[in-house]
Amino acid sequence: METRARRRPHLLPLLLLLLLLCGECPPVGGCNEKRMLAMLPHCGKTFAERMKKVEVWKWCNLSEFIVYYESFTNCTEVETNVVGCYWPNPLAESFIAGVHRRFFQNCSVARHHWQDPPDGILIPLIAAPILLTIAMTGVVVWRSKRTAQVV
């Protein structure tokens, strides 16, 4: 047996590399959803503890807690992969949506809808440059004719 190990010393690094690469491969048994649902609350609890450091009125400003949110996302991905599930998946997304409802329900996603100003303001804003262009063109033509008469 000792002689076999001496003949194949190159297999050990290959075996270690294989184990390292398959560290995130789903196990043969498939996704253990019950275990995943038991592990994900740990990520949510850690995120909630970190969010206590951020004032509530800053919760809608992502730049105030982006590091905490990235850590939360990474945690959910790792915990999901550990139990042999792919990430994202519907159950993990549902959990993440629950965290969003808890922390970001008052954050507005509505965009400001631009409206045209009233006609009393809009018409002069359109007409002024048009009339100014016509007037300047007239002045240039008038000056060029006048210069031609003088010479």
pLDDT tens for residues 58-106? 888 888 899 999 999 999 999 999 999 998 899 999 999 999 999 988 8
Residue 145 vs residue 150, higher pLDDT = 145
Count: domains in the chain: 1
The answer to whether residue 1 sits within a structural domain is: no
* pLDDT single digits (tens) 66-77: 999 999 999 999
pLDDT tens profile 6-57: 555 555 554 454 444 445 454 556 889 999 999 999 999 999 999 999 998 8
Give domain status of residue 115, yes or no.
Answer: no
Residue 23 lies in a domain: no
In this structure, what token pair is assigned to residue 138? Answer: 């007239």
Print the domain residue range for 101: 30-105
Cα–Cα distances in Å, from 31 out to 68, 98, 110? 27, 21, 37
Cα(151)–Cα(148) distance, rounded to whole angstroms?
A: 6
Q: How many angstroms separate the CA atoms of 54 and 103, rounded?
A: 11
5 lies in a domain? no
Q: Residue 72: give its domain's CATH number.
A: 1.10.150.510
Residue 34 covered by a domain = yes
In a domain, 112, yes or no: no
- What pLDDT digit, counting tens, does each position of 116-149 carry? 889 999 999 999 999 999 999 999 999 888 776 6
Residue 2 lies in a domain: no
Checking if the pLDDT of 111 tops 90, the result is no
pTM, two decimal places: 0.54
**How much of the chain, in percent, has pLDDT values that exceed 70?**
75
Res. 1 pLDDT band, cuts 50 70 90: very low
Which pLDDT belongs to residue 30? 84
Predicted pLDDT at 19:
44
**95 domain-assigned:** yes
- Nearest alpha-carbon partner for 95 in 145, 19, 33: 33
